[in-house]
Structure 1
Amino acid sequence: MNVQSHWIDIPANGDSFPGYLSLPKGGKGPGVVIIQEIFGVNAHIRSVADRYAAAGYVAVAPDIFWRVEPRVELGYAGADREKAMEIYGKLDVTQAVSDVTATSVALRARPEVTGKVAAVGYCLGGRLAYLSTAQGAFDIAVAYYGGGIQNELELADKIKVPMQFHYGALDAHIPSAAVDLVKQRFADKDAQLYVYPNADHGFNCEDRASYNQWASALAYGRTLTFLGEHV
């Protein structure tokens, strides 16, 4: 992909934390914050940021785990998965939302950003996209299999911007009843919700056993269309 990428420091309450920045070929464009899973800003998340940069966005993936273990990169099985769950158990979600919001602020201030700023989050990142958008951090948001959103629907009224949701029909972590709750709560809002048959949790990630090429490609196309319409 013809993009330029490097790590940057994102200011946060007198401190700073790392984020992976990927710039489009033209050097400028709307902004998108790519929010990680529980496995850190690993090769997959960096590739997602690069993919959005190749599509014309200024993309940044903040290191949400920096307070626990900076720049951690983990795989999806065995000891790596156990470590990911351990780090996730130490995560302060309120601070994580604050860091996502700080990332949005920092991205908007960059000279390369020439439009609105969106959030696209995966798993944990999907939930953080939802929570930070409820605090007004983004102009549009997309949540891929965001676990726990169904338990925080009292925040839905605070979301005043377009939002899109993607779920796998086989996702045991987010059962159909939970997806239905989200769908019902957002039925009268500017929102889209898609459920992919034969797709499991993590279907977007080519490095996971649950990767589903059809669902990943379709969801990506829908996401780009959604962003293009609003950003």
Structure 2
Amino acid sequence: MSETVQIPSIKQDGAIPAYVSRPAGTAKGAIVVIPEIFGVNPGIRQKCDKWAAKGYLAVAPDIFWRFAPGVELNPDVEAELNQAFGYFQQYDPADGVYDIESTIKWIRAEAGVAKVGCAGYCLGGRLAYMAAARTDIDASVGYYGVMIDTMLDEAHHIARPLMLHVACEDQFVSAEAQAAMHAGLDDHPRVTLHDYPGMPHGFAAEMGDRRHDAEAELADSRTEAFLAEHLA
């Protein structure tokens, strides 16, 4: 069962629209699905529905709700891709962390699910890293997160497990940035990095031209095992 809910912002600046997909029975945990720069589009909703089918409560907050509520963009359409880049430039990721924390609190208090993890993509991958450093989320996963190399000074705040999937041919995360991530995080006891040689940004999208089935399935299987372990 799926629905759209309004989650009160802990900043007290409004309510965050969120897509919620519920499992058939009692949830064995909750997953915050953090969107890319394309909004809560069909691919993000499909990710939520897949988590629900596996027994999790899945919640995808609309991270652009303050200035582009309800936007859904297709990365395979050039005009919509450029629109998404504009939103990325406008976006304050600190607000994203507030929205994730608001979602965590709503899940625990209103939905009654104690253990909460997240899976984020692109900008959402960066937010997954930030959530691991700045919130009490139980476990976090980031896919091809952007600009993580600029935030490595926050790594010492990471107290709960974090997994990062790194696309080795990511056109938005340079080889130098990837090397910095490894140098800063490989020795961290709570952080696991997986490299995907030859993979571009967006390889684990649910649909569209960017998806690479084999590598997406490998990354998703690692994510599922990781979150199952840490949300048990």
TM, length-normalised to structure 2: 0.93
Aligned-pair Cα RMSD in Å? 1.3
Q: Deviations over 1:63-122 (max 9, x none)?
A: 000001101000013111111112222112221221111111111113452x41101100
Equivalents in 2 of 1:140, 1:86: separation in Å? Answer: 30
Equivalent in the alignment of 1:116: 115
Give me the identity figure in percent.
Answer: 38
Equivalent in the alignment of 2:94: 94
Letter matched to residue 11 of structure 1: P
Equivalents in 2 of 1:208, 1:181: separation in Å? Answer: 30
Equivalent in the alignment of 1:75: 74
Equivalents in 1 of 2:158, 2:130: separation in Å? Answer: 9
**What is the Cα deviation at residue 131 of structure 1?**
1.0
Equivalent in the alignment of 1:52: 51
Letter matched to residue 128 of structure 1: L
**What is the Cα deviation at residue 190 of structure 1?**
1.8
Name whichever structure is richer in strand by fraction. Answer: 1
Q: Deviations over 1:166-206 (max 9, x none)?
A: 01122121123322222222223222111112211000114
Equivalents in 2 of 1:227, 1:202: separation in Å? Answer: 21
Q: How many residues align?
A: 227
Letter matched to residue 70 of structure 2: R
Equivalent in the alignment of 1:5: 2
Equivalent in the alignment of 2:62: 63
Equivalent in the alignment of 1:150: 149
Task: Structure 1: give runs of 5+ residues left out of the alignment.
Answer: none
Structure 1 residue ranges, 4+ long, deviating more than 4 angstroms after superposition: none
Task: Structure 2: give runs of 5+ residues left out of the alignment.
Answer: none
TM, length-normalised to structure 1: 0.94
Equivalents in 2 of 1:28, 1:161: separation in Å? Answer: 21
Describe how 1:129-168 pairs up with structure 2 within 5 A.
129-168=128-167
SS of corresponding position for 1:180: helix
Checking the alignment, whether the CA contact within 8 Å between 2:47 and 2:206 is kept in structure 1 is no
Equivalents in 1 of 2:111, 2:39: separation in Å? Answer: 27
Are residues 1:29 and 2:28 paired?
yes
Checking the alignment, whether the CA contact within 8 Å between 1:199 and 1:210 is kept in structure 2 is no
